[in-house]
Structure 1
């Protein structure tokens, strides 16, 4: 019996639940030995969500099934294959079964060759989909709560850091450079000229190194974050963090950039 071992972990699952590819791999390998099977190949998707089927290793697994190189697909849990019920059933009914490929889970008992087993599999897939929906809803609730509390979500913008209260606070080393960029732009310097000057003066970049690209400079110079605002539902609104520049300077920089674009 040629077994294809499929393992998957997303970044959020690794952080939240301690999943690891190595733990899944060891569990599947032990199961294969206990059954006296041989391993056709190991298919691993690291850092990929189970919300859809667009995964490189899964694509190779499907190809292997269609080429009749596989007798059974083995996973640690059904949700490693997908967290969407319709995707799980599609793979089993439309890809695996027509090519004579079975499907087994190490931690869940079902037999896909019987109606009762397929019903059991369907219920497991439903619960996997429900779990994902619950995770997404919790994430959205947490994000909304942070916004209401005026706490930033995601990576702090250049020139800021996270304060002890979870809100944005000026980053002492980089915040002054933001103000300089706006002054240089308002005085007529172009994006490339500003990027070159930042590198000459060894200004720390967004990733710590003194390397700058004109697109990065442009994003900073067009962002209203530096006015103490945040974009919500497509609209920029006051967010409560300390501005790094005044409104007059921000608008002068926008006017200067517009003029340079018009002049070509």
Structure 2
């Protein structure tokens, strides 16, 4: 039986501007991967929301669709390009991975693949999930301190 995948594509406006991510580029890479691996694409979920939580419209649609298909016997794949497209919140990511598995969906980042049948893969998963969260927290602190410094220097920090 052929493999079936749902594709999850996410950017936040900041990331798209700062790092050059694009929805089209992610979708192209995911579709090429599926073509090479002979994986059928079932659904594509696209959104422009932060990955700090899973309270995202596209994500909610994906989970609702998986719950409706819970009686399917075969495990489906949930593919995204990198783990930071999936989440930037480590604790929520682990909980969500458990939910996905209970819904017979296996999350996988095509550019950071993990074989979860190998126990040591959990170490790499924690690495892939934690670094984006730490990056977000560092960026927030830098902004906070920068704004504080600007206020001390007498610069106006509100909107025009």
- Report the TM-score range of the alignment, normalised by the length of the smaller protein: 0.7 to 0.9
Aligned to 2:96: 91
CA apart distance, 1:154: 4.8
Aligned to 2:148: 144
Q: 2:106 aligns with which of 82, 102, 125?
A: 102
In the superposition, relative to structure 1, how do residues 21 and 154 fare at CA in structure 2: closer, same or farther (>3 Å)? farther
In the superposition, relative to structure 1, how do residues 75 and 146 fare at CA in structure 2: closer, same or farther (>3 Å)? same
> What does residue range 3-22 of structure 1 map to in structure 2 within 5 Å?
3-22=5-24
In the superposition, relative to structure 1, how do residues 78 and 143 fare at CA in structure 2: closer, same or farther (>3 Å)? same
CA apart distance, 1:27: 1.1
What is the distance in 2 between the residues matched to 1:32 and 1:116? 26
What is the distance in 2 between the residues matched to 1:59 and 1:113? 28
Deviations 1:68-108 (A, max 9, x none): 37701001111111101111111112x11112211111211
CA apart distance, 1:28: 1.0
What is the distance in 2 between the residues matched to 1:35 and 1:64? 24
Deviations 1:155-185 (A, max 9, x none): 31xxxxxxxxxxxxxxxxxxxxxxxxxxxxx
What is the distance in 2 between the residues matched to 1:106 and 1:81? 12
What is the distance in 1 between the residues matched to 2:153 and 2:110? 44
Listed as ranges, the gaps of 5+ residues in structure 2 are none
Considering only CA atoms, is the larger Rg found in Structure 1 or Structure 2?
A: 1
Listed as ranges, the gaps of 5+ residues in structure 1 are 157-264
What is the distance in 2 between the residues matched to 1:143 and 1:114? 45
What is the distance in 1 between the residues matched to 2:61 and 2:12? 18
How many residue pairs get aligned? The number is 154
CA apart distance, 1:44: 0.9
Query: 1:77, 1:106 within 8 Å by CA — same for their partners in 2?
Result: yes
Aligned to 1:45: 47
Q: Cα RMSD between the aligned structures?
A: 1.7
